[in-house]
Amino acid sequence: MMKFFKLADICWEGLTLQHVSRNEIVFPYLLFILMTLLFELFLVVLLVVTSVLIYIYDYPFNTDFFICAGILILMSFLSIAIFLTLVRRKRVAEKSEYLSF
């Protein structure tokens, strides 16, 4: 079981670029995550509109719809967590640069 925890920690370190501090790498990755969040926001809006239309026209919900909604919500939480971690790390790095001068 500890191997899975270690694997999860390594994956999280890779997703949040914990060992990378160069702005040439961090800034494009931050923009990529931001674009991912915008696309996921579009998909969430599309999911809500689809849910409303399905409810209005009394069409039965499909199991695939619920599975896709769950996956979308989990991916959104993961993207938000990655984005917040990167922004916090970038702020801490900027503060430490100002303190070093």
Burial of residue 68 (number of CB atoms within 10 Å: 0-12, 13-18, 19+): middle
Tell me: pLDDT of 77 over 90. yes
- This prediction has a pTM of 0.77
- The predicted pLDDT at position 67 comes to 96
Q: Give CA–CA dist 72/79, Å, rounded.
A: 10
